[in-house]
Structure 1
Amino acid sequence: MQNWLYIVLVILGIYILLSVLLFYLQDYFLFKPEKLSKDFQFHYDNQEIEEYNIETRDGATINGLRFKSQKPKGVVFYLKGNSKSIKGWGKFAVDFTRHGYDVIMVDYRGFGKSTGRRTQKAIKRDMQVVYDKIKEQVAEKYIILYGRSMGSGFAAKLASMNNPRMLILDAPYYSLSKVAKKFIPFMPLSLLIKFPMPTYKWLRYVNCPIHIIHGTDDRLIPYKTSVKLSKIKPESTTLYTVIGGGHKDLNTFESYHKMLGEIITSRPTKVNLEGSSINVKHSSKHANAKA
């Protein structure tokens, strides 16, 4: 009996130790920031950029870039993934500037030149501050929110609290808690995770058109995640499928660029269903036999 009790206590002790380590080290596993010196100079071939810094109310600095286009049709606020800095992510701005849109990219706290203690609440507040700055120069009907992977949750939250022209989610997650549970199903994540990021909850309050792009071969965030998300507000959501696309390579697919171009250059139109088969139902076998 004493041996069994000893074994139980050892297992319990290990479980508690793992829980404590997960709580304090999760920031290391979730975020892979690249630090940049304050005097680092951004440069992109054939791109006109403007660098800026925003001071937050708690004393942090959010560093960002504006990629400029000639006679812009609007602004894309691009919320990037959980790795590197806008130094590398900036190369994706061309996918929007070539369509006549300015692009705003910022580094989250602790990334690039941005400073400050990183928490889910603080980052959400920072993104709203940036969005408000954009609104000072551009009407919301000309603002497109684009969230990539980690940034998809923050983009969904922003869209739920504001009225942008549209929300585009690239390889989004249902919630980060769900993603983490896939790798460590035995841990009490609801109590431990500091960045639950419940995208599915925030999407319920989004009133603009929602466009979701996902690759069928995404091994980090499965394609079925976007299928599930698309059912939250099906009347205003369109799901775009990149056949064979993974988590980090959608930009290498011609179909992705075709989809993106169609999304950002089109205007939502109401479908005229008069005379369509929308209300026509197939007869049952029994009914057919009887007829």
Structure 2
Amino acid sequence: MMLRSRPVVRWVAALAGVPLLLYLLALTWLWFRQERLLFYPEPWPSEDPPALKAPDVRSLWVEVPGAKLHALHLRQTNARGLVFFLHGNGGNLASWFVNTDFYRRAGYDLFMLDYRGYGRSSGQIASEAQLMGDVRTAWQQVSPQYAGRPVVAYGRSLGTGLAAQLAAEVNPALTVLVSPYRSMAALADEHYPMVPAALLRYPLRTDEAVGRIRGPVWLVHGGRDSLIPPAHSEALQALAGAQRVRLLRVPEAGHNDVHQFPAYLDGLSSELARL
């Protein structure tokens, strides 16, 4: 009797191992292809948006190892300073380079970069180190043009982790983080709790960087943000100290529309005026 049952036991054991095998295969795929989950670049549209055709907006290129990155620069006469803007994980400059009239009224130039593979930028994102290296190269290309004037490191969503790391290194006059996350591991744990944190090749530790930023930090978060909950901004403020880090909550805003609310626009205008 026992001898006859052994094939059945092996068959049951094999079936029990199928979910584990599928799980391991999924983790392997995630390790090698996680860029497809994190980055959503879009090709450049057939026609430039109207905002990009203004006479004070110019297109330029940032040379990085193995690629050329497209950037847009709103450059005014006698600008008070510069906002160095790192955008989110979708779209490209055609959809992100907006609110230019706001910056004109504030008297600040705006510089925005497309990451590798976004819009007109060539190449592909391959690692966090490469991504941060590209951001540093762009900063080094544009920020010396504003010597003696305030330069703001601004990050939105995905860009907040990059902006925080940059600010910890270069000490800008102000760091603005809109819809930030504590870390990519913390965010992944909320949305994909079955994925081990060690598997993430883009940890993007905003929580480690924010405490090393020496200048003022302004956080903005929509109260209805379900992608990156407001608790992330609250945790960052607690880590760095409320005296140096101010947090604006926009109760009615979600993740993608916070820049459209007067509370955000008035707040950013006030923060820039402080400089």
Structure 1's 198 and 263: CA in aligned 2 closer, same or farther, altered over 3 A?
Answer: same
Q: 1:65 to 1:15 in 2, by over 3 A?
A: same
Match of 2:184 among 153, 176, 199: 176
2:14 alignment partner in structure 1: 6
How big is each residue's C-alpha offset from its partner over 1:215-264, in whole Å with a ceiling of 9 and x where there is no partner?
Answer: 11111000111000001111311111112111011122111111111111
Q: Which runs of 4 or more aligned residues in structure 1 lie more than 6 Å from their structure 2 counterparts after TM superposition?
A: none
Partner of residue 36 from structure 2, selected from 25, 28, 31:
28
In 2, Cα distance between the equivalents of 1:200 and 1:17? 31
Q: How does 1:70-89 map to 2 (within 5 A)?
A: 70-89=77-96
Matched residue, 1:187: 195
Please tell me whether residue 259 in structure 1 is matched to residue 267 in structure 2. yes
- Over 3 Å counting, the alpha-carbon distance change for 1:106 and 1:40 in structure 2 is farther
* In structure 2, distance between residues paired with 1:181 and 1:85: 27
Please tell me the residue identity of whatever aligns with 1:132.
Answer: Q
Amino acid at match of 1:113: R
Unmatched tracts of structure 1, length 5 or more: 268-291
Q: 1:245 aligns with which of 241, 253, 270?
A: 253
Deviates more, 1:253-262 or 1:103-112: 253-262
1:193 counterpart letter in structure 2: L
User: What corresponds to 1:114 in structure 2?
Assistant: 121
**Aligned counterpart in structure 2 of residue 159 of structure 1, from 131, 147, 167:** 167
CA distance in 2, matches of 1:232, 1:140: 30
Q: Describe how 1:91-106 pairs up with structure 2 within 5 A.
A: 91-106=98-113
Instruction: Give the RMSD, CA atoms, in angstroms.
Output: 1.9
| TM-score of the pair, normalised by structure 1 | 0.85
TM-score, L = length of structure 2: 0.90
Alignment partners' CA distance in 1, 2:88 and 2:171: 23
Tell me, in whole angstroms, the C-alpha distance in 2 between the residues paired with 1:42 and 1:244.
28
Check conservation: 2:57, 2:75, Cα contact below 8 A: yes
Could you tell me which residue of structure 1 aligns to residue 235 of structure 2? 228
Percent identity of equivalent pairs:
28
Q: What SS class does the counterpart of residue 239 from structure 2 fall into?
A: coil
Which residue of structure 2 lines up, in the alignment, with residue 209 of structure 1?
Answer: 216
Q: Deviations over 1:166-223 (max 9, x none)?
A: 1000000111122122221112232x22211111011121111000011111110001
